[in-house]
Chain A
Amino acid sequence: DVKVTQSSRYLVKRTGEKVFLECVQDMDHENMFWYRQDPGLGLRLIYFSYDVKMKEKGDIPEGYSVSREKKERFSLILESASTNQTSMYLCASSPRDRGPGTEAFFGQGTRLTVV
């Protein structure tokens, strides 16, 4: 059974804290993604990684950074958490295949609240 696992389901952090969200996949996928999902805005791509140590900015990278030191792990870092980063964060992975056979698998999500 394929799996993408996010380290926490719920997190509460204080404004200004450095926050780490971890994601691990066991499918040997090249691609990994971090999205945030907000009501009315859908899933917005924060960062994308297509290989170890390789990354691309998504649509809303400001205030975030990422790390991919190993193929199976992709970390999202909030350098200094702010209340407008309160959201549901979803990690996903997919194989390097741009065709219709590509399927992305998601983690269960991390609900982050910044107070």
Chain B
Amino acid sequence: RKEVEQDPGPFNVPEGATVAFNCTYSNSASQSFFWYRQDCRKEPKLLMSVYSSGNEDGRFTAQLNRASQYISLLIRDSKLSDSATYLCVVIPYNTDKLIFGTGTRLQVFP
């Protein structure tokens, strides 16, 4: 079983739609969680950290469920510019390693 798993998609949604991605992780002792965004032919960049109580940044909401070992990303009012691959990242306990999921591709159409 992979350490971090994501549905690869693609998710094709119209502008203005709400879309949600989930990511599951296998190591229950994982300590930190993130969502990164990667545009086509570009390097990944941090979108947002995921806090235990959940957190919001504009149209983006991230949630963590430690009991079920998953994190989620909700995007409201999708824009064309949201089209990208969204990468789930986990830092396991007692290490600084960043473990990436395979990514979920989002395509927003007009």
Partners in one complex: yes
Given contacts A31-B96, A33-B98, A94-B96, contact A101 B49 (CB under 8 A): yes
Number of interface residues of B (CB under 8 A): 25
A40 to chain B, nearest CB (A): 7
For B46, list chain A residues within 8 Å (CB).
Answer: 103-104
For A41, list chain B residues within 8 Å (CB).
Answer: 102
A100 touches B87 (CB 8 A): no
Q: Which residues 34-91 of A sit at the B interface, judged by CB distance below 8 A?
A: 35, 40-45, 48, 50, 56, 58, 90
A102 touches B32 (CB 8 A): yes
B97 touches A48 (CB 8 A): yes
Asked if B20 is at the interface of the complex by the 8 Å CB criterion, the answer is no
B91 touches A45 (CB 8 A): no
A26 to chain B, nearest CB (A): 16
For A58, list chain B residues within 8 Å (CB).
Answer: 97
Q: How many angstroms from the CA of A104 to the CA of B87 in the assembled complex?
A: 13
Number of interface residues of A (CB under 8 A): 29
Asked if B59 is at the interface of the complex by the 8 Å CB criterion, the answer is no
Asked if A14 is at the interface of the complex by the 8 Å CB criterion, the answer is no
Partner of A40, one of B8, B42, B44: B8
Partner of A106, one of B33, B34, B44, B91: B44
Partner of A43, one of B44, B49, B51: B44
For B33, list chain A residues within 8 Å (CB).
Answer: 100
A98 touches B32 (CB 8 A): yes
- Name A111's closest neighbour in chain B (CB-CB): B41
Asked if A113 is at the interface of the complex by the 8 Å CB criterion, the answer is no
For A102, list chain B residues within 8 Å (CB).
Answer: 32, 34, 49, 91, 96
A68 to chain B, nearest CB (A): 14
* 14 A-B residue pairings within 8 Å (CB atoms): A30-B96, A45-B99, A48-B96, A90-B43, A90-B44, A96-B96, A98-B95, A100-B32, A101-B49, A102-B49, A102-B96, A103-B46, A104-B89, A104-B98
Other CB < 8 Å A-B pairs besides A42-B101, A48-B97, A98-B91, 9 of them?
A30-B96, A31-B96, A33-B98, A90-B44, A94-B96, A98-B95, A100-B32, A104-B98, A106-B43
